[in-house]
């Protein structure tokens, strides 16, 4: 599966709500460059990205345990008022 099939880079331009992207540095299913492009193309003013070093597509929580959960907690607290 590639993101081109789903046109994500175009669709994300029309998303204006707060957005958080968490991506594995070594992801071979969706390459890191595509995650960075999603972030750059996002229409959201309030957006954040976390790249987990050494992580692939399926081990984000394991490789980046502290960073991963801290980022989610920070995002929820910031955007739930």
Query: Rounded CA gap, 32 and 34, in Å?
Result: 5
Q: Is residue 39 part of a domain?
A: yes
Q: In this predicted model, what pLDDT tens digit does every residue of 62-77 receive, in sequence order?
A: 999 999 999 999 999 9
Q: Is residue 1 part of a domain?
A: no
Q: Is residue 81 part of a domain?
A: no
Q: Is residue 60 part of a domain?
A: yes
Q: Is residue 58 part of a domain?
A: yes
Q: In this predicted model, what pLDDT tens digit does every residue of 30-47 receive, in sequence order?
A: 999 999 999 999 999 999
Looking at residue 6, what is its pLDDT?
79
Query: For residue 1, is pLDDT > 90?
Result: no
pTM: 0.87
Domain count, the chain: 1
Looking at residue 5, what is its pLDDT?
74
Full domain range(s) for residue 58: 6-76
Q: How many other CB atoms are found less than 10 A from the CB of residue 11?
A: 13
Q: Is residue 31 part of a domain?
A: yes
């Amino acid at each position: 599966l590639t993101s081109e099939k789903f046109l994500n880079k175009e669709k994300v331009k029309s998303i204006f709500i707060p957005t958080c992207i968490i991506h594995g540095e070594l992801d071979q299913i969706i390459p890191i460059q595509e995650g960075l492009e999603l972030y750059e193309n996002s229409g959201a003013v309030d957006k954040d990205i976390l790249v987990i070093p050494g992580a692939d597509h399926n081990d984000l929580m394991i490789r980046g345990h502290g960073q991963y959960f801290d980022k989610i907690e920070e995002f929820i607290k910031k955007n739930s008022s």
